[in-house]
Structure 1
Amino acid sequence: MALAAGARVLSRALLCPWALLRGATIRRTEPTAGSVDSARRFGTQRVLVEPDAAAGVAVMKFKNPPVNSLSLELLTEFIISLEKLENDKTFRGIILTSDCPRIFSAGLDLTEMCGKNPAHYAEYWKAVQELWLRLYLSNLVLIAAINGACPAGGCLISLTCDYRILADNPKYLIGLNETLLGIVAPFWFKDTLVNTIGHRASEQALQLGLLFLPAEALQVGLVDQVVPEDQVLSTALSVMARWMAIPDHARQLTKNMMRKTTVDRLVKQRDADIQNFVSFISRDSIQKSLQMYLEKLKQKKG
């Protein structure tokens, strides 16, 4: 009977996970003028936002099927939704997750980097930079609820978060695997990984394009928790309560102290980084490699 009662409680928590936060000791802020209605979802075509103003938390879900590739449109909509939440003082934390089954994000959209002109490549890369910059130094608590495969750019997004929770499924691999596609991860991808798992582990992971199983990702420190698939969101909400118990100003200043040097490195070299990307991606050999890979993907789908 006790087990049955526990199952019913867990079931209710999963159906209404905000109860986990509302029952925790969290400083709440009264909704400000123009704040998001806690009872309503909002968002864009590719980013769904489920806010709870009373708890001060929003869940942001990527919904760019089939694999949540980071297209220019998704990046733009993601930044707009993030900015909306950051400007609303009601919200103190965001959980990033996926609305697409079995995939968190497959990473950068290769079609944005193949067969286009240099101006488009520059625009796309600037958007990738902008998302990373905003996420990595966000004043909000960011928790990645990784409910699917998480390679390349998907892994980068999770690395910008303050805490990462991965579903325990052997199909849900995570890592920066750019070298497998003949692409070099830029220095700020590398810096983010080094800050998370250390230099030697990053050196091997980046050169070999390693994709880690959940248990391996936990062991190396790429994620902070591995939990059953049906407990990813509820765990994220529970963890969020712990982070939000810390006074915002102290946590934010500490986060800035830890991460600003990494961010400043990109800010100082942002234009050069864009030029390097455009030059690299425009090479005939790289374009041919990307085209071949995209053709293989089309054949698999067929």
Structure 2
Amino acid sequence: MSTARTLLCTRSIIKNLRQFSSNNYKCLDLSVNDDNNVTTVTMKRPPVNGLNLELLTELSDVLTDLKKNKSPGMILTSYSDKVFTAGLDIMEMHKPDPERFKQFWCALQDVWMKLYGSPFPTAAAINGHSPAGGCLLSMCCEYRVMVKNFNIGLNETQLGIVAPIWFIKTMLNTISIRNTELALTTGRLFKTHEALEIGLIDEMATDKADALKKANDFFKRFEMIPPIARVYTKDSLRGSDIEDLKKNREKDVQTTLSLITQPKVQQGLEFYLALLKNKKESS
């Protein structure tokens, strides 16, 4: 391809990305970095970026469009200075309508497959607490920078919920088998410095601005790497886990629905909701 044609294609991609970033989303803000054309996706569903059907659907759509427009990279972050995302919205699992829950869980599956297997590099600027589903989204990204003095981890067992196998595989591919077993069976949340020590995150930051800078610096590593080599290598590492979920999507939905509708699990969710209500009233 000639230099002129390459430049024309690059300009077309940048134009598409900027037009795409101007789209209006209810739960997300998008911006394109002028220096590297990396798209920053900011979750903005107050108060804690609970991952409900609407937010997950928007994020799935964004990931599809970034792939279509050949984005050079994406950073996932939060509007809040306290919470990256509190994880799956409890209201989607408390006394769930089966049809709504199926849509919700399928949307989560879609986001995981698209983010975990994205052809473009991804980074998470974790600027707040990141439990459960927040930890999952962070681990899907290839690089994680986390602001100090926050917590992260898959703490589903604390609510009586069993983490699906694809949650578990994502953590197994991020930290050691032993640390994964201890973390999942106890529902442990790691402080930023602890997460760094075990490899759950890659860098620690002083604040959001520092996290975004370090996340953007990550993409410089690929400036001299042929994209096709990077993409195929990533797929070799992650592709089999994605294929496993694709083959078992419906079973995964039904198994999860069966688990969360068990009386003891629903009681645990109700107790947690009561705690949140009391905390809100006392604040």
* TM-score normalised per structure 2: 0.91
Q: Distance in 2 between matches of 1:179 and 1:33?
A: 44
Look up the match of 1:126: 106
Q: Distance in 2 between matches of 1:71 and 1:63?
A: 12
Question: Counterpart amino acid of 2:97?
Answer: N
Alignment size in residue pairs: 272
Residues 1:236 and 1:157: Cα distance change in structure 2 (over 3 Å)? same
Q: Provide the secondary structure at the position in 2 that maps to 1:144.
A: strand
Question: Counterpart amino acid of 1:239?
Answer: F
Alpha-carbon shift at residue 285 of structure 1 (Å): 2.0
Which of 3, 26, 41 is equivalent to 1:60?
Answer: 41
Look up the match of 1:42: 23
1:194 to 2:194 alignment: no
Alpha-carbon shift at residue 201 of structure 1 (Å): 0.7
Alpha-carbon displacement from aligned partner over 1:93-120 (angstroms, at most 9, x marks no partner): 0011111221111100010111222222
Residues 1:32 and 1:39: Cα distance change in structure 2 (over 3 Å)? closer
- Does 273-282 or 227-236 show the bigger shift? 227-236
Look up the match of 2:145: 165
Q: Provide the secondary structure at the position in 1 that maps to 2:75.
A: strand
Q: CA RMSD in A?
A: 1.8
- Within 5 Å, give how 1:120-159 maps onto structure 2: 120-159=100-139
Look up the match of 1:71: 52
Question: Counterpart amino acid of 2:61?
Answer: I
Look up the match of 1:20: none
Q: Distance in 2 between matches of 1:33 and 1:195?
A: 33
Alpha-carbon shift at residue 39 of structure 1 (Å): 11
Q: Distance in 1 between matches of 2:14 and 2:125?
A: 30
- Does 103-112 or 283-292 show the bigger shift? 283-292
Q: Provide the secondary structure at the position in 2 that maps to 1:238.
A: helix
Conserved 8 A contact 1:30-1:54: no
Q: Distance in 1 between matches of 2:250 and 2:190?
A: 32
Which of 223, 241, 247 is equivalent to 2:226?
Answer: 247
Q: Distance in 2 between matches of 1:165 and 1:245?
A: 22
**What percent identity do the matched residue pairs reach?**
40
Alpha-carbon shift at residue 42 of structure 1 (Å): 3.5
Conserved 8 A contact 1:151-1:174: yes
Conserved 8 A contact 2:159-2:265: no
Give unmatched runs, 5+ long, in structure 1.
1-27
Alpha-carbon displacement from aligned partner over 1:154-202 (angstroms, at most 9, x marks no partner): 000010011111112x2x1000000111111111100000011021110
Look up the match of 1:221: 199
Alpha-carbon displacement from aligned partner over 1:231-255 (angstroms, at most 9, x marks no partner): 1111111112223442211100000
